[in-house]
C-alpha cells in the first residue's frame, strides 16, 4: 500500500523530495506533476504534485521530508539549469529535471 508523504508547491520540489528519498534507498512516486504542462481547466490547488511512498517506509520517509523542510529555512537563491533552463531551488545542487550539477560541466 502507498501513502502520501508530501504535498509540494510545485513539480520541482516534489522531484527534489523524491531524489532525497532515493538517496536513502526509499522508493517513491510523484503524482500529478505532469498536470502542470497540461494547463488550463484544472485549478492549481487540485493538481498539486504529491510524493507517495510505501506504508512500510512511510515513517522514515516522513522524517526525511520534515528534516528537509526545516532545512529550507535557510534561503538560498534559486538557480537556472544551464542545460535545460529549469529553475531549481537553491539548496539542491543538481537539476531536478535533467540531473545536471548546478555548476555545470567545467571546461
Ligand atoms: Zn536541467
Task: Quickly list DSSP for 6-18.
Answer: EE-SSHHHHHHHH
- % of the chain exceeding 70 in pLDDT: 79
Q: pLDDT tens-digit profile of 54-75?
A: 999 999 999 999 988 877 565 6
Q: Which CATH architecture has domain 2-74?
A: 2-Layer Sandwich (3.30)
Greater confidence (42 vs 5) lies with 5
Distance (Å, rounded) from C-alpha 42 to C-alpha 56?
32
CA 1–ligand 1 middle distance (angstroms): 32
| Ion ligand 1 — residues with CB < 5 Å | 81, 83-84, 86, 95, 97-98, 100
Query: What's the mean pLDDT in 9-22?
Result: 90
Burial class (CB in 10 A: 0-12, 13-18, 19+), 68: middle
Segment 28-53 mean pLDDT: 71
Residue 74: per-residue pLDDT: 58
Count the alpha carbons within 13 Å of 28 in the hemisphere toward its beta carbon.
32
pTM of this structure: 0.57
Rounded to an integer, the average pLDDT of 65-87 is: 83
Higher local confidence (pLDDT), 8 or 45: 8
Going by pLDDT thresholds of 50, 70 and 90, the confidence category of residue 106 is very low
CA distances from 14 to 11, 97, 104, 105, 107 (A): 5, 11, 22, 25, 31
Taking Cα atoms as reference points, which of 20, 26, 34, 36 lies closest to residue 3? 26
Residue 102 pLDDT grade (very low, low, confident, very high; cuts 50, 70, 90): confident
Distances (CA, A) of 95 to 4, 25, 50, 61: 24, 19, 19, 21
Amino acid at each position: 500500500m502507498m501513502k502520501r508523504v508530501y504535498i509540494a508547491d510545485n513539480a520541482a520540489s516534489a522531484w527534489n523530495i523524491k531524489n532525497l528519498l532515493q538517496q536513502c534507498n526509499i522508493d517513491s512516486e510523484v503524482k500529478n506533476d505532469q498536470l502542470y504542462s497540461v494547463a488550463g481547466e484544472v485549478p492549481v490547488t487540485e493538481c498539486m504534485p504529491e510524493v507517495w511512498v510505501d506504508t512500510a517506509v512511510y515513517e522514515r520517509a516522513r522524517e526525511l521530508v520534515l528534516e528537509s523542510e526545516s532545512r529550507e529555512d535557510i534561503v538560498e537563491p534559486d538557480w537556472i539549469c544551464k542545460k535545460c533552463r529549469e529553475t531549481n531551488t537553491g539548496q539542491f545542487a543538481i537539476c531536478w529535471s535533467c540531473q545536471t550539477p548546478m555548476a555545470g560541466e567545467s571546461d
